[in-house]
Structure 1
Amino acid sequence: MTTVIETASGRHAVVTSFVTVTLRNAADDYLRVRRWGVNPDIGKDLIQVWMASREEELGAASRVDMFVRDAGSTTSKVGFHRLLADFLGWPLPMVPSFSGKETRLYLEVLFPLFYIEQKFGWSGIAPRIPTHYGIREPLRRAVEYVLGLHTLNRLRQQEALREEEVALAGEWAATVARAHGAANAESLRLLAVSEKPTVSAQRRDAVIEANVSGEWRELSTAVERWQERLRQLQGTEIAAGPRTEQTRAELAIAEREVQRLGAVARHLYEQRAMSQGDADAISARLASMDEDKKRLRDVKRIERLGGEMELPLLAEGRCPTCSQEVDGRDVATETVSSVEENISLLDAERVTLLSMQSSAAQRTNDITRSIAAAEAALSEARDRVRLLRDELVGPSNAPSVAEVQERLSLESRLRAAGRVSAIVGAVNEELDELAVRLDDLRVRRANADSGEVDEQDRKTLRQFRSSFQEQLAAYNLRSLSPEAVSIDEKTLLPVNDGFELTFDVAMGISASDTIRTKWAYYTALMETAQRVSEGRHLGLLMLDEPRQQETDRPSLAAFLQRLRDDSQLAQIVYATSEDPKVLDQLLVGVPYNNLPADGRHLIDFR
């Protein structure tokens, strides 16, 4: 199909060739797919598709060019595997990969369970599953998905629990940071508080300390000293009358200082709002750029494969490459950069924006710290104004400013101690709640990681195992007793005495029994998946030359009878080069459609 073709006149080079297939899904929608084997203008990875609600409408449907075997084929709007998965109604889950992250369970990993090709497909019992996607245990994940086992749900549950723990760690860090911020603002410090989530049994309440005469003391001890000193000052009386004029001058200076600091604080708040607005605008532009770049790559990919992708025109007021709104004055020349140039420009702009984003975040943090300092200075200045005003309106025998200042400072410290104690007390309660949540989360993670199979999965696996063993007996497995061969609950592969069943003469497994076991495995998988409520079999089983290793004809006849019984569950395509006379004898009583092709036959069971 891709190199030469044999005809009555000889061998000829293939100039162009393609394969077209029409699919119908459970919703009775139709999808026609064409892929070119040879075409000088169209790449092999371009897929041409037509969709319609009725088969006769496909001829009038618009063609859409899509791509495969490239990044984004399962997520992009023009990725064929995304379209096919949606058409089948299969939400492709995320599964663990060797990189430590998650990757999608691609259709290429699932389809080997529906088709056995002749060249390599019969070389072993286990299906040949692609490994280049880096999926951990790809065969197991594929079989679980087809059978509708809840193992994948447990994997997703485990991932959700991990994400929940990450979110809890974020809440914990934010709560601790709030306590640290409150303490730092009043020149206090926290001790004995864990920066990372801690279970209830190990959690300790935060301890607040204050600096008293150059030494850090527990806040309760510092408060006792401050209260004692305040009582002493409240009992002292020093006349203030002789310094009235000086007090007025100091008050004027203090009031101007309050005005100045208030203006500084307001300006800083405005600057922070502007800085935050800049950061939000940069984040929005970065998100928009990611979409632009993804769209441009799709355009480039489709064009590289020889396809076409509709783009808006300049006349519509949109850029034909990035699809953004443009001002007519900016495109007076009607000159548009190429896709490659736009991608390069976006990459350069992204580097600049990331640097700007980092600078904006740093600037916001600096302004926030400046606001805290300005507010503290403003509060102190207001306290001084209040002190001086009290002195002016008070009696001439009022206490001196120095002592009043100390008294107010002590009162301020006591008020600050009360505020910080209240905040840290609330933080301790929140951390207690988070610790309880962490305890529960750890228990749920332990249960999710236990690997126990739920009852519905056990029932499905029993059906799978029963069908498999029943067929082994019907196909006359000789090397082992059919009852001794089973399906392992973890690997989902045929096993004997705990070991995976493979072709091994030393273990007594003959080549023909390997073929019988493969028949039974694929057919049992199809039967089980089609009969359980959550199964996701394609409803198609393709077998290319199933009679390998000269498997005896009675076994083959039993296999054909089984396929006949399963014809209501799926469409079965059986390709064989068996002698037509022998084949007719084997197919007695088996309804089928025969598609002859120069000695080779396709049997389509209905």
Structure 2
Amino acid sequence: MLHLNALRLEINTTNGLYGVTIPFESGLNIIRADNTSGKSTVFQSILYALGFEELIGLKNDKTMQSVLKDAVIDGESSFQVIQSAISLEIFNGQQTITVKRSVVNEKRKPQLIDVTFGPQITKNEDTYELRQMYVHDKGAASDEIYGFHAFLEEFLNWNLPDVIDTNGNSTKLYMPLIAPSFIVEQKSGWSSFFATIPWYGVKNAEERVIEFLLNLDVFQNEQSRISLNINKRLIQEKWTILFDDFQNLAEKGNAEVPGLEPFPVIINNINEIYFRVFRNDKYFLVPDLIEELTDEFDQLNQQTEVTVGENLEKNQIRLNLLNDNLLKIGFRYQQLSDELLHEKEKFRQYAQQRKSVQEDLDKNKSAEKMLRLGGDVHAQVANNLCPTCGQGINDSLLPEGVDQVPMQISENINFLSSQLKMLVAFINSQRAKIQEKDNVLAAYNNKLNEIRQEIRNIKRDLVSDERLPSEELIERKINTKRLVNFYVELLEKIESLKNRLLLLSKEWEKIKQREADLSGDFFSVLDRAKIQLLQDTFLKLLKDFNYQSKDKNAIKISTDKYLPVIEVRLPNEKPKSYDIRFDSSGSDHIRCMWAYYVALLETSKRLGGNHPKLLIFDEPQQQSASTTDFHAFLNELSINEDTQSIVFASFQNSIKDFEEATVGLKFTKIESNGRFVQKVEV
């Protein structure tokens, strides 16, 4: 509950103190005054004291009227403002506090707010506790000690939830976003529902506000979805990092990882993800490669005691074999390089074709849209003209007498869409081929380097002292042992990565299960009752306020945005809906807004919502709404005695209109004697 007890303006000028103190009561309060009397100053001061001045466009003192920051006009004279402040006494049903915020003060920034724990305006005493807080700065909505909006949230017994911003991140449903649901300012506020809601980057902010005000269970489901999306994105980020770890490890081991997807998937069999290494013209799994290398090492171990002379004949045979292998692998390397160039050229052509088909598809879709809208689509070929030279051409290459019917645009779109899908499949397949051949080519290159090194070692042995041990055998033994150790260590790292991947996959499976659970009907039975009550109350008020533009049976409260819509149901078609303001007259649109904001309050009040039970309307009699209908609106506000409404209205500067609009109503009348801001005698 947010109840305003009193407002005080204190303006120190070169001619002394000016200001005003305005008490408010429960039920309907009407601030009646002619234009230029200072109604806007009073209205904006309430917003400023609560830190809601963004509803009128800007933040801090920039939003305030000149009487509070520049000069006070008194009769024919104008006096400079040297200091000014606004105090607002508010009540939450149990506790009263007074907030004070400076507009002009050389020693205080406008973000600073004094919070006095007591009714300092209506019952001023020196014993009240005072705490200083701040607004419109980082932490104002979360700092539990100094953040004013964090304090105000607690004072109102609200628990503002986290919502999703436009970037998919979690953010708070800030209080200034909720304010337009119960405070409507004059200049922009009556143009549409929630017209003055400030930009905080919150996705679908209006819907989130209404869900909070009505305390819908769907809001909890939305919170679950927010949490789910955050966890989902975290898993996707972890998966990307893990995928890169796999790729980096594979690159170090001259291996590839079939079956590993770059995006999260549910893995039922972790053994389907493995490393394979291309060596000696065939693929090895890492355990098999370790076994083969170990056998090679054992064989070399038996030969290392042999001298160069004893190994001379074997070295010569091995040298010939290595030279043959060098030629064969070199030939295969060159052949594969040529194939890779060919595959890359095919990839480029497929990509170019895809671009061309996409352009044709876009053009056909645009043409179809034009035809659907009733436009003419002119194409040179359709007119039997060459698009290049403009000369006439036959409309068919078929022999005369053979009938043929050209494809319609819709058929073109289907054909091009199929082509596009086929090309995308080709491109993906080609990309996989290129990657595989790149890996094999890298393995061949490594093998060529190994063979060249072995040839150099053997040649060195052939010219060495025949009594010495074979350096080539020793080096081969060392290299083979090093490879065994490397792949043993690699296998351990692979198992560690696979364990992490399996855990991440299980988390992803839980996420997908929760996502499926949340994909059904979000609304609880109580939610539907609240939306139905909002609709019934809204329609009743429309009738009371004399809405005429559309049949009431066609008006609904949308279950998507919770706003009034016109629903049209054509034969054999699903119902379609559109914003009610597009089919309402100017004055009926104002009646809609009266009805909707009051219906929000009454629905929240009756079915346990979070509405602050406060409505503040600045000049609600817009678009020449009749005095009779305005009376019905004010009457609806006046009978809600357990809430508070404050209406700022000039009544077209007519006492007669004021009397007709308020006849028989119970309300508190607040008037000015010329101007609200007057000289204060100290």
User: Normalised by the size of structure 1, how large is the TM-score?
Assistant: 0.58
The answer to whether the 8 A contact 1:173-1:196 is kept is yes
Q: Supply the distance in 1 between the matched residues of 2:274 and 2:634 (Cα, whole angstroms).
A: 78
The answer to whether the 8 A contact 2:218-2:522 is kept is no
2:360 paired residue number: none
1:121 paired residue number: 189
The verdict on how the C-alpha distance between 1:481 and 1:206 changes in structure 2, with shifts beyond 3 A counting, is closer
The verdict on how the C-alpha distance between 1:191 and 1:582 changes in structure 2, with shifts beyond 3 A counting, is closer
1:575 paired residue number: 648
How many Å apart are 1:160 and its aligned residue?
2.0
- Residue 521 (structure 1) aligned with residue 596 (structure 2): yes
- Residue 538 (structure 1) aligned with residue 612 (structure 2): yes
How many Å apart are 1:494 and its aligned residue?
1.9
The verdict on how the C-alpha distance between 1:174 and 1:466 changes in structure 2, with shifts beyond 3 A counting, is same
Tell me which moved more, 221-230 or 63-72: 221-230
1:480 paired residue number: 550
The verdict on how the C-alpha distance between 1:549 and 1:179 changes in structure 2, with shifts beyond 3 A counting, is closer
Q: What SS is found at the alignment partner of 1:567?
A: coil
The verdict on how the C-alpha distance between 1:201 and 1:39 changes in structure 2, with shifts beyond 3 A counting, is closer
Q: Supply the distance in 2 between the matched residues of 1:134 and 1:64 (Cα, whole angstroms).
A: 31
The verdict on how the C-alpha distance between 1:231 and 1:460 changes in structure 2, with shifts beyond 3 A counting, is same
Q: Supply the distance in 2 between the matched residues of 1:450 and 1:13 (Cα, whole angstroms).
A: 65
- Render the CA deviation track for 1:152-197: whole Å, top value 9, x for unaligned: 5444333322332344346556767888899999x68563263744
Residues 342-357 of structure 1 aligned to structure 2 (within 5 Å):
none
- Residue 82 (structure 1) aligned with residue 157 (structure 2): no
- Render the CA deviation track for 1:284-325: whole Å, top value 9, x for unaligned: xxxxxxxxxxxxxxxxxxxxxxxxxxxxxxxxxxxxxxxxxx
1:463 paired residue number: 533
- Residue 565 (structure 1) aligned with residue 639 (structure 2): yes
Q: Supply the distance in 1 between the matched residues of 2:106 and 2:296 (Cα, whole angstroms).
A: 95
Tell me which moved more, 556-565 or 94-103: 94-103
The alignment of Structure 1 onto Structure 2 pairs a total of residues equal to 433
- Render the CA deviation track for 1:20-64: whole Å, top value 9, x for unaligned: 1111225x2332112234445545444332235999686433544
Q: What SS is found at the alignment partner of 1:594?
A: strand
Q: What SS is found at the alignment partner of 1:486?
A: strand
1:35 paired residue number: 101
2:289 paired residue number: 222
The verdict on how the C-alpha distance between 1:594 and 1:600 changes in structure 2, with shifts beyond 3 A counting, is farther
How many Å apart are 1:234 and its aligned residue?
11
- Residue 594 (structure 1) aligned with residue 676 (structure 2): no
Q: Supply the distance in 2 between the matched residues of 1:184 and 1:545 (Cα, whole angstroms).
A: 71
One of 121, 141, 149 as aligned partner of 2:216: 149
How many Å apart are 1:480 and its aligned residue?
1.8
Q: Supply the distance in 2 between the matched residues of 1:575 and 1:420 (Cα, whole angstroms).
A: 77
The verdict on how the C-alpha distance between 1:548 and 1:219 changes in structure 2, with shifts beyond 3 A counting, is closer
Q: Supply the distance in 1 between the matched residues of 2:193 and 2:523 (Cα, whole angstroms).
A: 22
The answer to whether the 8 A contact 1:206-1:424 is kept is no
Q: What SS is found at the alignment partner of 2:646?
A: strand
The verdict on how the C-alpha distance between 1:227 and 1:115 changes in structure 2, with shifts beyond 3 A counting, is closer
The verdict on how the C-alpha distance between 1:57 and 1:423 changes in structure 2, with shifts beyond 3 A counting, is farther
Q: Supply the distance in 2 between the matched residues of 1:62 and 1:473 (Cα, whole angstroms).
A: 49
Tell me which moved more, 466-475 or 187-196: 187-196
Tell me which moved more, 547-556 or 480-489: 547-556
How many Å apart are 1:209 and its aligned residue?
4.5
How many Å apart are 1:222 and its aligned residue?
3.3
Q: Supply the distance in 2 between the matched residues of 1:573 and 1:211 (Cα, whole angstroms).
A: 81
The answer to whether the 8 A contact 1:199-1:436 is kept is no
The verdict on how the C-alpha distance between 1:427 and 1:62 changes in structure 2, with shifts beyond 3 A counting, is same
The verdict on how the C-alpha distance between 1:205 and 1:597 changes in structure 2, with shifts beyond 3 A counting, is same
Q: Supply the distance in 2 between the matched residues of 1:482 and 1:470 (Cα, whole angstroms).
A: 9
The answer to whether the 8 A contact 1:197-1:435 is kept is no
The verdict on how the C-alpha distance between 1:409 and 1:71 changes in structure 2, with shifts beyond 3 A counting, is closer
Q: Supply the distance in 2 between the matched residues of 1:576 and 1:169 (Cα, whole angstroms).
A: 55
Q: Supply the distance in 2 between the matched residues of 1:104 and 1:84 (Cα, whole angstroms).
A: 14
The answer to whether the 8 A contact 1:542-1:574 is kept is yes
1:379 paired residue number: none
Q: Supply the distance in 2 between the matched residues of 1:477 and 1:483 (Cα, whole angstroms).
A: 13
The answer to whether the 8 A contact 2:277-2:284 is kept is yes
Q: What SS is found at the alignment partner of 1:566?
A: coil
User: Normalised by the size of structure 2, how large is the TM-score?
Assistant: 0.52
AA at the equivalent of 2:610: R
The verdict on how the C-alpha distance between 1:403 and 1:520 changes in structure 2, with shifts beyond 3 A counting, is same
One of 24, 27, 49 as aligned partner of 2:91: 24
How many Å apart are 1:540 and its aligned residue?
1.0
Q: Supply the distance in 1 between the matched residues of 2:157 and 2:633 (Cα, whole angstroms).
A: 31
Q: What SS is found at the alignment partner of 1:207?
A: coil
Q: Supply the distance in 2 between the matched residues of 1:115 and 1:175 (Cα, whole angstroms).
A: 51
The verdict on how the C-alpha distance between 1:525 and 1:600 changes in structure 2, with shifts beyond 3 A counting, is farther
1:191 paired residue number: 257
The verdict on how the C-alpha distance between 1:64 and 1:425 changes in structure 2, with shifts beyond 3 A counting, is closer
Q: Supply the distance in 2 between the matched residues of 1:414 and 1:44 (Cα, whole angstroms).
A: 72
Q: Supply the distance in 1 between the matched residues of 2:256 and 2:297 (Cα, whole angstroms).
A: 25
What residue ranges of structure 1 are gaps of 5+ in the alignment? 240-401, 602-606
AA at the equivalent of 2:601: M
AA at the equivalent of 1:13: F
The verdict on how the C-alpha distance between 1:227 and 1:481 changes in structure 2, with shifts beyond 3 A counting, is same
Q: What SS is found at the alignment partner of 1:22?
A: strand
Q: Supply the distance in 2 between the matched residues of 1:409 and 1:116 (Cα, whole angstroms).
A: 81
The verdict on how the C-alpha distance between 1:220 and 1:512 changes in structure 2, with shifts beyond 3 A counting, is closer
Q: Supply the distance in 2 between the matched residues of 1:232 and 1:112 (Cα, whole angstroms).
A: 84
Residues 21-420 of structure 1 aligned to structure 2 (within 5 Å):
21-26=88-93, 28-39=94-105, 42-52=108-118, 59-76=126-143, 77-99=145-167, 101-122=169-190, 124-169=191-236, 172=239, 189=255, 191-192=257-258, 194=260, 196-200=262-266, 205-209=272-276, 217-222=284-289, 225=292
The answer to which structure, 1 or 2, has the higher relative contact order (CA under 8 A, 6+ apart) is: 2
How many Å apart are 1:468 and its aligned residue?
0.4
Q: Supply the distance in 2 between the matched residues of 1:596 and 1:148 (Cα, whole angstroms).
A: 37
The verdict on how the C-alpha distance between 1:174 and 1:543 changes in structure 2, with shifts beyond 3 A counting, is closer
Q: Supply the distance in 2 between the matched residues of 1:128 and 1:418 (Cα, whole angstroms).
A: 66
Q: Which has the higher helix share?
A: 1
The verdict on how the C-alpha distance between 1:196 and 1:104 changes in structure 2, with shifts beyond 3 A counting, is same
How many Å apart are 1:567 and its aligned residue?
2.2
How many Å apart are 1:75 and its aligned residue?
3.5
Q: Supply the distance in 2 between the matched residues of 1:543 and 1:183 (Cα, whole angstroms).
A: 67
Q: Supply the distance in 2 between the matched residues of 1:115 and 1:439 (Cα, whole angstroms).
A: 46
The verdict on how the C-alpha distance between 1:180 and 1:109 changes in structure 2, with shifts beyond 3 A counting, is closer
Q: What SS is found at the alignment partner of 1:118?
A: coil
Q: Supply the distance in 2 between the matched residues of 1:40 and 1:12 (Cα, whole angstroms).
A: 21
How many Å apart are 1:440 and its aligned residue?
3.7
Q: Supply the distance in 2 between the matched residues of 1:53 and 1:449 (Cα, whole angstroms).
A: 50
Q: Supply the distance in 1 between the matched residues of 2:588 and 2:215 (Cα, whole angstroms).
A: 28
Q: What SS is found at the alignment partner of 2:639?
A: helix
Q: What SS is found at the alignment partner of 1:460?
A: helix
